[in-house]
């Protein structure tokens, strides 16, 4: 709507000062000609806005002009009060600031929108943490936060997954990202994007050198590149398994990112009574060992190499505990078989979650 666009132009000019017409047009997804028409409309409405031509020109307001804009729609007011659970703001030391800011926004809202905004804050909660995430190391974000906002380089002592040795990196930070409750530092290392889990950073030192980010590259751009790199990692090992339906819900929650098709409906083979056939894809063969946690509730059908890999892992574990106990492994207890049907109450694991 034109009225929303005029308000957006006014807010952008108040925030940024002089803004080129092409930049406003790109941000609002309209043509530069439309921006100039909107500027004329604002001027006709009494707003002291004008265009400056030339190399350093742009759209600007008269110096000192400010306006208190409270023309939020009902949905915009409600959107501001969809709160996240404690964690993200706490890690940044901004809990009290968030409460204070929301109090001020509530006071500035048009009276008709206040009840809906207040009700939203009491009825909607976004919790970014996964179920049963397990224990986590304490994460110290102070140095990372300082470097990000002071535009300084960072020297990290970092431990990669599965690596006992600490490695030293000098990086140029773009910002911090909280992904499913886990904090990451997004940075350039030797002019290439790199991702560092905050809980694997042993130490971080803010350097005096100014940050050396690539021109016209923002945090969101680098994050999308890194996210695609993780999510689109080649997965060339295709494995077919059958899962007992009493464990299917738990199975899909744990290995969901590995599924190549959703189980159930038209995409799963349901001709085997209480078992469902599921297909997964792994980046490398040893990754199939994750299936061992499901015991006899999950059976690998294909390929033979995956079965051999599981047998190899089982033999390693059996040898370890046989040596520890000095005795042969105990046979499976009689009657330890899968239940006959899928009906009934969920397992205790599922109920706890």
Distance CA(207)–CA(183), nearest Å, equals 21
| Helical residues (DSSP H) of the chain, grouped into ranges | 2-16, 21-28, 32-44, 74-80, 88-91, 95-108, 114-123, 142-150, 219-231, 248-255, 304-325, 348-352
pTM over 0.85: no
Query: pLDDT in tens for each of the 353 residues of the chain?
Result: 677 788 788 878 877 788 898 888 888 889 988 988 888 888 888 888 888 877 777 898 888 776 665 566 777 777 777 765 556 676 677 767 777 777 777 777 777 777 888 877 777 777 777 766 666 666 778 899 999 999 999 999 999 877 789 999 999 999 999 887 788 999 999 999 999 999 899 999 999 999 999 998 999 999 999 988 887 777 788 999 999 998 898 898 888 888 888 776 443 444 446 899 999 999 888 889 999 999 999 999 999 999 999 999 999 999 999 888 876 555 554 444 444 444 333 333 232 32
- In the three-class reduction of DSSP (H, G, I as helix; E, B as strand; rest coil), residue 186 is classed as strand
Structural domains in the chain, CATH included, are 2-61 (1.10.10.10), 74-126 (no CATH), 142-231 (2.30.30), 237-325 (3.30.70)
Question: How many CA atoms are closer than 13 Å to the CA of 147, on its beta-carbon side?
Answer: 30
Over its C-alpha atoms, the chain yields an Rg (Å, rounded) of 28
Is 13:59 a contact under the CB 8 Å cutoff? yes
As a whole number of angstroms, the distance between CA 10 and CA 41 comes to 12
Predicted pLDDT at 16: 78
Residue 337 has a pLDDT of 47
Query: Which pLDDT score is estimated for 267?
Result: 38
- The whole-angstrom separation of Cα 243 and Cα 252 is 10
* Residue 236 CA: distances (Å) to CA of 220, 228, 280, 281, 308: 29, 17, 10, 7, 17
Q: How high is the pLDDT of residue 235?
A: 76
pLDDT on residue 98:
73
Q: How many CB atoms sit inside 10 A of residue 283's CB?
A: 12
Distances (CA, A) of 299 to 53, 107, 228, 295: 71, 60, 31, 8
Cα(301)–Cα(245) distance, rounded to whole angstroms?
Answer: 16
Predicted pLDDT of residue 168? 96
Cβ 23 vs Cβ 51: under 8 Å: no
The pLDDT value recorded for residue 83 is: 63
């Amino acid at each position: 709507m034109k009225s929303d666009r005029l308000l957006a132009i006014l807010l952008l000019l108040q925030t940024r000062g002089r803004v080129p017409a092409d930049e406003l047009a790109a941000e609002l997804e309209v043509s530069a000609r439309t921006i100039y028409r909107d500027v004329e409309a604002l001027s006709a409405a009494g707003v002291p806005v004008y265009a400056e031509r030339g190399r350093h020109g742009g759209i600007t307001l008269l110096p000192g002009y400010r306006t208190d804009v409270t023309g939020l729609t009902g949905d915009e007011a409600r959107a501001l009060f969809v709160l996240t659970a404690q964690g993200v703001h706490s890690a940044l030391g901004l809990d009290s600031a968030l409460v204070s800011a929301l109090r001020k926004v509530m006071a500035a809202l048009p009276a008709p929108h206040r009840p809906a905004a207040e009700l939203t804050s009491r009825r909607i909660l976004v919790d970014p943490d996964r179920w049963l995430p397990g224990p986590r190391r304490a994460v110290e974000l102070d140095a990372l936060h300082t470097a990000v906002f002071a535009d300084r380089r960072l020297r990290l002592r970092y431990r990669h997954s599965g690596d006992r040795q600490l490695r030293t990196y000098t990086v140029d930070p773009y910002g911090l990202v909280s992904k499913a409750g886990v904090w990451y530092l997004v940075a350039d290392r030797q002019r290439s994007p790199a991702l560092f889990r905050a809980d694997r950073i042993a130490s971080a030192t803010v350097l005096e050198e100014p940050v050396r980010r690539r021109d016209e590259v923002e945090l969101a751009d680098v994050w999308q590149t890194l996210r695609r790199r993780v999510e689109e990692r080649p997965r060339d090992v295709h494995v077919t398994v059958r899962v007992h339906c009493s464990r299917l819900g738990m199975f899909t929650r744990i290995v969901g990112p590995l599924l190549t098709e959703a189980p159930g409906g038209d995409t799963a083979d349901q001709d085997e009574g209480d078992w469902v056939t599921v297909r997964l894809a792994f980046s490398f063969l040893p990754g199939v060992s994750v299936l061992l946690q499901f015991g006899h509730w999950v059976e690998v059908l294909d390929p033979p190499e995956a079965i051999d890999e599981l047998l190899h892992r089982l033999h390693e574990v059996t040898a370890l505990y046989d040596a520890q106990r000095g005795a042969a492994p105990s046979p499976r207890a009689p009657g330890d078989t899968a239940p006959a049907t899928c009906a009934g109450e969920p397992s205790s694991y599922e109920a706890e979650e």
